[in-house]
Amino acid sequence: MTQTANAQTQGTQTTPMLIGGRPAYSSTGRIYEVRNPANGQVVGIVPQATVEDANRAVEAAQAAFRGWAETSPDDRAELLFKGIELLKQNEKEIVRLLSQEQGKPVFEAKGEVHHLIHGLTFYAGLSSKIRGAEVPLPPAMGKYSYGVLFRRPVGVAVGITPWNFPLTLMGTKVGPALIAGCPIIIKPAQTTPLATLRVIELLNEAGLPPGVLQCVTGSGSELGEPLITHPAVRRVALTGSSNTGRRVMELAGRDFKRVTLELGGSDPMIVCPDANLKAAINGAMVGRFWNAGQQCLAVKRLYVFEEVYEEFLSGLIDKVSRYELGDPSTPAEKPKVRMGPLHAEFQRREIEEQLADAVAKGAKVVLGGKRPEGLDQGFYFEPTIVTDVPEDSRLVTEEVFGPVLPVFRVKTLDEAIQKANNSPWGLGSSIWTNNMIWANKAVREIEAGVTWINMIHYGYDELPFGGVKASGLGREHGPEAVDYYLEDKGAVFGGLEG
């Protein structure tokens, strides 16, 4: 909810943005509340930034660009390492903020902060490893001529991050940008700015020059277009929905800006007759219901060979039925709380409509399928398993961003792969088998950015990650992520005789 704030209120109640290395508030004085999806309580107040504020951030980044680009890789890394130490020292506070604003249990929030720190550490260590090349050239235009490939930072970058994993998906943009020499402005999701603001504040406290790392908060519809289309912005990194990705490409493409898009997914998981069923059941459970199923990279369609279908389904139902829903702030003495609420009411309403559509077409709910009793506050929904799901139902044709898992029976690997590929998305996928011929076939033929073999869908910082089809463009994670913040320039040195 947007409100008007006076100067006194701003100083005591509002968590400021960071523009040009300094705390910043909206040029209009507007603020909005951040609420806990578990109980609706206000957990913070932040500025509702304007186009003027976004322009100020871009101007500060542009002013910082030359100096940061000329900073030595070792010095960039040293500042990032100092920031990482501050994150470690303030980990409990960051975890608390993340859990409160996003709705995930504390143990999941801890995992996300750990992933953030691991990723930033990976990129800090990579800072001095960026290489160019020397290229021997034909002697026709001059004996001893040679070429040199330089790699230089693209320029000011903008990172637009979602609400489901606000910190890890910020880190996959901040780490590569900073070590490449690009200032970056982060625009977090409107509903999850608090932990992001604290992380960016701490990284700046480590000594980053003003304007190198900034954060503006508020409405994506109000801030996204001015940030993306600003002439000084040369690089845009988005994690979001496929529809948002299309719009970002349209805007950035007008001025040929460097773009990466990590978008939606409907990941298939294939369980073969020879699979370790215990491991596969655990993989399906975590892969679908972690973060209340609110993941682009999650098991959203499960294909099980008919030889093991009944055994697998029975084991999965038994395992998932032990989940306990509850307030994510539940103390450690109640470790059974495995799943918090959905992040927003519209998310719960959408999965209810998707599930109702499947049931109306003949699907059977074998576990869950409704709002839990006794949790009237918050946007809770039971972990749900569904069978006999028609291929034309919304549970199959749409991305399901919540704790609902359709399970399908298949006869052959060819059938499983055909069904897996019958989707507009292609982010992640997995196959569970000890048969290397089957594993290799799945890797070659499944249309996805990554295929895991006997492992849950997890994005490693060391390995490039991204999707195909409607799941996006380009790659984050891995050394390859840095490439999108660098441009190659060739230089030719004419040969000298004697």
Residue 17 near residue 216 (C-beta atoms within 8 A): yes
pLDDT of residue 409: 98
One-letter amino acid of 131: R
Question: In this structure, what token pair is assigned to residue 48?
Answer: 């509702």
* pLDDT at 303 > cutoff 60: yes
pLDDT of residue 126: 96
Mean pLDDT, residues 83-95 taken together: 98
Q: Read off the pLDDT band of 12 (50, 70, 90).
A: very low
Q: Distance (Å, rounded) from C-alpha 312 to C-alpha 438?
A: 19
Q: Read off the pLDDT band of 334 (50, 70, 90).
A: low
The answer to whether residue 480 is catalytic is no
pLDDT of residue 473: 96
Mean pLDDT, residues 323-341 taken together: 75
Q: Read off the pLDDT band of 332 (50, 70, 90).
A: low
Mean pLDDT, residues 128-138 taken together: 91
- What percentage of the chain exceeds 90 in pLDDT? 89
Mind listing the pLDDT tens digit for each residue in 439-480? 999 999 999 999 999 999 888 999 999 999 999 999 999 999
Mind listing the pLDDT tens digit for each residue in 361-393? 999 999 999 999 999 899 999 999 999 999 999
Q: Distance (Å, rounded) from C-alpha 297 to C-alpha 63?
A: 37
Q: Distance (Å, rounded) from C-alpha 171 to C-alpha 100?
A: 20
Q: Distance (Å, rounded) from C-alpha 302 to C-alpha 155?
A: 43
Mean residue pLDDT of the chain comes to 94
pLDDT of residue 7: 39
* pLDDT at 9 > cutoff 60: no
Mind listing the pLDDT tens digit for each residue in 224-259? 999 999 999 999 999 999 999 999 999 999 999 999
Q: Read off the pLDDT band of 326 (50, 70, 90).
A: confident
Query: Per-residue DSSP letters for 401-412?
Result: -SSEEEEEEESS
Residue 178 near residue 64 (C-beta atoms within 8 A): no
pLDDT of residue 3: 47
**Terminal-residue alpha carbon distance, the chain:** 75
**DSSP bridge partners of 405:** 385
Q: Which residue has the tokens 């790699």?
A: 151
* pLDDT at 2 > cutoff 60: no
Residue 407 near residue 302 (C-beta atoms within 8 A): yes
pLDDT of residue 56: 98
Mind listing the pLDDT tens digit for each residue in 26-48? 999 999 999 999 999 999 999 99
Question: Which is catalytic among the residues 108, 112, 262, 447?
Answer: 262
Question: In this structure, what token pair is assigned to residue 414?
Answer: 């060819």
Question: In this structure, what token pair is assigned to residue 49?
Answer: 């930034």
Q: Distance (Å, rounded) from C-alpha 473 to C-alpha 245?
A: 9
DSSP one-letter code for 485: T
Min mean pLDDT across 54-68, 136-150, 454-468 is at 136-150
pLDDT of residue 296: 92
Q: Distance (Å, rounded) from C-alpha 370 to C-alpha 383?
A: 9
Report helix, strand and coil shares of the chain as percent, to nearest 5: 40, 20, 35
Q: Read off the pLDDT band of 329 (50, 70, 90).
A: confident
* pLDDT at 5 > cutoff 50: no
pLDDT of residue 141: 77
Mean pLDDT, residues 288-317 taken together: 97
Mind listing the pLDDT tens digit for each residue in 182-241? 999 999 999 999 999 999 999 999 999 999 999 999 999 999 999 999 999 999 999 999
The answer to whether residue 296 is catalytic is yes
Q: Distance (Å, rounded) from C-alpha 230 to C-alpha 407?
A: 46
What 3-state class would DSSP assign to 338?
A: strand
Q: Distance (Å, rounded) from C-alpha 155 to C-alpha 153?
A: 6
Question: Which is catalytic among the residues 215, 296, 382, 398?
Answer: 296
